[in-house]
Amino acid sequence: DTGVSQDPRHKITKRGQNVTFRCDPISEHNRLYWYRQTLGQGPEFLTYFQNEAQLEKSRLLSDRFSAERPKGSFSTLEIQRTEQGDSAMYLCASSDPGSYNEQFFGPGTRLTVL
Amino acid sequence: GQNIDQPTEMTATEGAIVQINCTYQTSGFNGLFWYQQHAGEAPTFLSYNVLDGLEEKGRFSSFLSRSKGYSYLLLKELQMKDSASYLCAVKENSGNTPLVFGKGTRLSVIA
């Protein structure tokens, strides 16, 4: 399977702990996006990369959130001092520069903060 | 600001046709996407419209009117497996930029 992969698929943590998620995009895709989705809502943009450069961060992304894509391949999303409101599905997507921006989504990481 | 509206829920009968509407008000427009999302799974791409008119792809069609800020997704010959959420998303800028999603329409197909 050469689609977008995410790890872990599920994460349960206690409030105040730090968590890190990983996304491996489709290999030839240079754009990588992070979205957050809560129950009954559509995905909400967090940040995105072109190669290793972080091009944009949502205003909704607090300073507890940080994302990296150090070699322009996989990306990590870290949440520090988690809060119960961080509980959500974190989706990663990637796209091909030659396409009309069809974004291919990974299966997501479901975070539960107790 | 950004505003993308879709009905929250719809129910339709197996074998029937259903139309899911989406209206949008965004700062820019460079294309509209429809995605399907089954419960607990990732969204999967269905269609893309950037010019006015109808795009047909098998049982699924999508329509766009840029002047009205309006799109619809038409599903024909409904099957039980079509029960899912359908997400309308707008690309505001040119290039491979993030999408702005609506809240999604949860479609239930009943026998």
Q: Give the distance from residue A101's alpha carbon to the nearest chain B alpha carbon, in angstroms.
A: 5
Residue A85 has pLDDT above 80, yes or no: yes
The answer to whether the CB atoms of A42 and B102 lie below 8 A apart is: yes
Q: CB of A5 within 8 Å of any CB in chain B?
A: no
More reliable by pLDDT, A106 or A59: A106
CB B46, CB B61: distance < 8 Å: no
Q: Give the distance from residue A31's alpha carbon to the nearest chain B alpha carbon, in angstroms.
A: 7
Angstrom CA distances, B29 to A17, A47, A53, stand at 40, 19, 24
Looking at every residue in chain A, the average pLDDT score rounds to 93
Q: What is the pLDDT of residues B54-79, one digit of tens each?
A: 999 999 999 999 999 999 999 999 99
Q: CB of B41 within 8 Å of any CB in chain A?
A: yes
Residue A110 has pLDDT above 60, yes or no: yes
- Strands (DSSP E) contained in A3-108 are 5-7, 10-13, 19-24, 31-37, 44-50, 53-57, 65-68, 75-79, 88-95, 104-105
pLDDT band per the 50, 70, 90 thresholds, residue A99: low
Q: What is the pLDDT along chain B (111 residues), one digit of tens a residue?
A: 679 999 999 999 999 999 999 999 998 999 999 999 999 899 999 999 999 999 999 999 999 999 999 999 999 999 999 999 999 999 988 777 889 999 999 999 999
Residue A72 has pLDDT above 70, yes or no: yes
CB B69, CB B63: distance < 8 Å: no
Q: What is the pLDDT of residues A46-56, one digit of tens each?
A: 999 999 999 98
Closest CB to B103 among A41, A97, A107: A41
* Selection from A22, A10, A37 nearest residue A68 by Cα: A22
* Selection from B73, B69, B74 nearest residue B90 by Cα: B69
Q: HSE (CB half, 13 Å, CA atoms) of B65? A: 8
Q: CB of B96 within 8 Å of any CB in chain A?
A: yes
Q: Kindly state the average pLDDT of the residues A73-79.
A: 96
In chain A, residues with a C-beta closer than 8 Å to the C-beta of B92 are none
Give pLDDT, residue A43.
Answer: 95
In chain B, residues with a C-beta closer than 8 Å to the C-beta of A4 are 42
- Record the tokens describing residue A82, joined without a space: 């988690």
pLDDT band per the 50, 70, 90 thresholds, residue A101: confident
